[in-house]
Structure 1
Amino acid sequence: MSLVIYNPAKPKSELVRDYSVIGLIQLSALVYGLYAVAESRPAYIVFVKDRLEVVTAIDFDSEDFAEASDPYNQISWLGPRRVCVEYPTDPEERNELVFSAVSGKDIQLFPKYYRGCKSGELEAKVYPAQQLKSIAQLKSYNFVEGFPTGDFTWLPVKHRFGAWVEVYPEGDVSKGYFVDINPFE
């Protein structure tokens, strides 16, 4: 755009004004882009029953954080936090949660149910390597970058654009990494 508006015959004040408008447009686009990235960043990786759910910052309602306990009452700027959920024991609250889930807002979107994961909680629900290898054979996923070899376990990971798997080499949850395989197809 700078080359398009440049004309040596233009007065200097007009060129400054034109370049200022271009700079303002570019700065506005940068601010909007940063805002969009901040709003869509992963906030939590929530373990729910037998899968991981990636929840982004924009998925939350601000009033949900008012009911959550510290440190789950805010979103981290340093990357997503891994948490587990504690299902309510009150029957009325459980019913409200079921009706909320039917309308599209399940437990992973309520920070008041978040808690730290207990030792061995994820390991107790992982799937064996053979199951992912079977899926890979059916769907020709054997050539996906990062496809695990050797002994491993895995969990499905759901996110707003589909699903992946998180692979745990030799069953070690602390060494998990994501692989772009949809186990639900």
Structure 2
Amino acid sequence: MNDTRVSSVKDRFVAAGWHLLISAAIALIAAALVFGLWYPDAFRLLAGGQGLFLLVVSVDVVLGPLLTFAVFNRSKGWPHLRRDLAVIGVLQLSALAYGLHAVYAARPVAIVFEVDRFRVVSAVDVYEPELAKARPEYRKLPLTGPWTLSVRNAQAGAEKTDALLMALDKGYDMGQRPIFWAPYETSRDAALKGGRPISVLLERYPARVGEINSALAARGLSVQARFLPVMARGDWVAILDPKGDIATFLAVDGFF
């Protein structure tokens, strides 16, 4: 009897172990999709994708093998056992699909220059009724990482009033409204002019001077570079190169 029980427990560990390996492999494929396309580079942190994905995957990867460990018993017979494992697989894949859909809906679709800052805009933040009225190139949200955009000025009169009311009543700022999206090239000079010297950042965060200088050196920049704060998940600044393009991001608060 004891040998039978030991064998049963061993079988459960083996089955759960194989299930864990398969789940981990699927999670790695999902990670390649999420971080290779939807949340590239620093946007996994700027848009909160890393935390959301890890939550989804960790629950899914752990839950499946645990259920397999709980139900696996050769004495049931293979038809019954296969049915149990199939149900677990369907539940696990359904949970993963639901979680990935949530990650997809929250993916960053644009980083938008707004007068004196950048804003990371997720798909769920976009005022979708205006997509059809946007510039042709902005009518379908991207799947392979965010656009770098700017916002045009609202025209005096009804459009300016509408922009104010939409922001106050519905919470949609101009950077989240496709009708105001414009190529970043039209505002690159304004972004560079509005940026503050890196020296200001170094004075603000003396304990992180080494980290900031290392980030600049890695991209061939000097303390003459400029920065702008970023509205994102957590505290961030965008570092601008001499042409006004975003060279990198640093995890510090730039609103001071």
The TM-score normalised by the length of structure 2 is 0.65
The one-letter code sitting in structure 1 at the alignment partner of 2:230 is V
- In the alignment, is residue 157 of structure 1 matched against residue 233 of structure 2? no
Matched, 1:176 2:243: no
How far is the alpha carbon of 1:148 from its aligned partner? 3.9
Q: 3-state SS of the aligned residue for 2:253?
A: coil
Q: Percent identity?
A: 28
Q: 1 or 2, which has the higher strand percentage?
A: 1
> Does structure 1 conserve the Cα–Cα contact (< 8 Å) formed by 2:134 and 2:178?
yes
TM-aligned CA distance change 1:89 to 1:175, over 3 Å: closer
Number of the residue aligned with 2:85: 19
Alpha-carbon offset, residue 144 of structure 1: 4.8
146-155 vs 98-107, which moves further: 146-155
Shift of 1:87: 1.4
Give 1:113's aligned residue: 180
3-state SS of paired residue (1:88): coil
CA distance in 1, matches of 2:208, 2:121: 26
Is 1:7 the counterpart of 2:73? The answer is: yes
Structure 2 residue identity aligned to 1:22: I
Q: Counterparts of 1:16 and 1:5 in 2: how far apart (Å)?
A: 11
User: 1:172, CA displacement in angstroms?
Assistant: 4.2
Partner of residue 196, structure 2: 127
| Correspondent of 2:205 among 136, 139, 143 | 136
Aligned residue type for 2:155 = T
- Greater fraction helix: 2
Q: Contact 1:141–1:181 (CA<8 Å) still a contact in 2?
A: no
Of residues 28-37 and 145-154 in structure 1, the stretch that sits farther from structure 2 once superposed is 145-154
Give how far 1:94 is off.
Answer: 0.3
Q: Which amino acid aligns with 1:165?
A: V
Pair 144,110 (structure 1): closer, same or farther in 2 beyond 3 Å: same
Shift of 1:165: 0.5
Aligned-partner Cα distance in 1 for 2:245–2:162:
34
Task: Structure 1: state its 5+ residue gaps.
Answer: none
1:69-96 deviation per Cα after TM superposition (whole angstroms, max 9, x unaligned): 2111121111100111111213121012
| Cα RMSD after superposing both structures | 2.0
SS at structure 2 position matched to 1:157: strand
Count of residue pairs brought into register by the alignment: 181
Alpha-carbon distance, 1:64 to partner: 2.1
The offset of 1:24, in angstroms, is: 0.4
Please list every run of 5 or more consecutive structure 2 residues that lacks an aligned counterpart in the other structure.
1-66
Q: Partner residue of 2:107?
A: 41
Deviation at 1:41, TM superposition (A): 0.8
Q: Which amino acid aligns with 1:177?
A: T
The structure with the larger Rg is 2
CA distance in 2, matches of 1:16, 1:23: 10
Aligned to 1:54: 120
Deviations 1:120-178 (A, max 9, x none): 232222111122112213xx44465755463221111111x233011135x34346101
Asked if the contact 1:154–1:168 (Cα under 8 Å) also holds between the matched residues in 2, the reply is: yes
Q: Which amino acid aligns with 2:229?
A: P
Q: TM-score, normalised by structure 1?
A: 0.87
- Matched position secondary structure for 2:161: helix
Q: Which moved more, 1:86-95 or 1:42-51?
A: 86-95
Query: Are the equivalent residues in 2 in contact too, given 1:144–1:180 (CA < 8 A)?
Result: no
